[in-house]
Structures are given as structure tokens and as C-alpha cells.
Amino acid sequence: MLELVKEPDPILKQKAERWDFEQHVNAAAIEREMLETMRAHNGIGLAANQVGLLRRVFVMRLHDGREMGFFNPTILVGDNADIDAEEGCLSFPNLWLKVKRSDKITAMYLDNTGKQCIIELEGIDSRCFQHELDHLDGITFTEYVSDLKLKMARKKQRKLNG
């Protein structure tokens, strides 16, 4: 299992570099280890920089139970029906924030063999994909809320964390 990086570690604010299948030949092993780490922390998504790796890959458990890795992911199309919903993050224990995100997206990514794939996601799967993609760009969900809302959420977080 990989070590989970938590705030305020600066790697969470760094942009990840493309995954190079010729240079980084252990894609399946990284995917497996990241999924194991995600499961161990009861998550539904985990980006590489959350485990100290600055490469463009994240893993997710889709609502239908499938678990998969997304290498060099990108959003091709997003609807403009932004939905406001609560999100959490493994790197920010017990911090919950309402974030607006597209309800439906079409995304392109490479699987762990380097094969190009296109997937349509909606609801929680769309939200999770966008959250993890943000991580790869050095953006955390805390950046989507006002200072006041973040301050109030931090107060609740402190109580929950003891």
C-alpha cells in the first residue's frame, strides 16, 4: 500500500506530468497499488499526487462497482448543468464542501496498457472524475468555495478530527 499524502503537503498543489508508457513501464502495478490505497482509506477516487507521485494518473471506483485507472485523462465535453453537491477528499480528512461540477462529461484517457478509451460519466462518477483531474492540475476542492464557507467547514473539521 502507498502512503497517503495529506494537506498541507505542497505536492497537492503541484501539476502532474504526463504518464509516459515507454518510460514508466509499471502502469498496471501503479494502478493496483493506488486502488489498494484508495480502498484502505474508504475512498472512491485517488490521484497520483495524493500518494506522492507527480504523474497524470488517478483511480476511481465507479457507481457500478468497477475500479479502474485513468492515465493522461482529459475531459472532451462537459454539460453546463452544474450541480452543487458535497464533496470530501482523502487528503483533507473530515472536510466537506459543496462544490459545483458538471453533471455529465465525456472523457478520454489511456488504460493501463496505453489503449485510448472514451467514457461518458454522470452523477457521482462525473463529479469524482473532475475532482481527481483537478488534483492532477494541482487544484484542490478547497479552491471552489469562499473563504467564509471554507472557514466554517474547517471549524467542523477540527471538531470531527478532535
Q: What is the pLDDT of residues 110-132, one digit of tens each?
A: 999 999 999 999 999 999 999 99
Report the distance separating Cα 66 and Cα 60, nearest Å. 8
CB atoms within 10 A of CB 112: 20
Active-site choice (87, 120, 132, 143): 132
Phi-psi region of 142 (alpha: psi -120 to 50; beta: other; left: phi over 0): alpha
pLDDT (0 to 100) of residue 79: 87
**Band of pLDDT at residue 151, cut at 50, 70 and 90:** very high
pLDDT averaged over every residue in the chain: 96
Residue 132 bears catalytic tag:
yes
% of the chain exceeding 70 in pLDDT: 100
pLDDT at 4 over 90: yes
Query: What is the separation, in whole angstroms, between the first and last Cα of the chain?
Result: 26
pLDDT (0 to 100) of residue 162: 85
Domains of the chain, each with CATH number or no CATH: 10-161 (3.90.45.10)
Task: Let me know: does 131 contact 44? Beta carbons within 8 Å.
Answer: no
Report the distance separating Cα 31 and Cα 27, nearest Å. 6
Report the distance separating Cα 146 and Cα 33, nearest Å. 35
Average pLDDT over residues 86-109: 97
Tens-digit pLDDT profile for residues 33-62:
999 999 999 999 999 999 999 999 999 999
Could you give the 3-state DSSP secondary structure of residue 40? helix
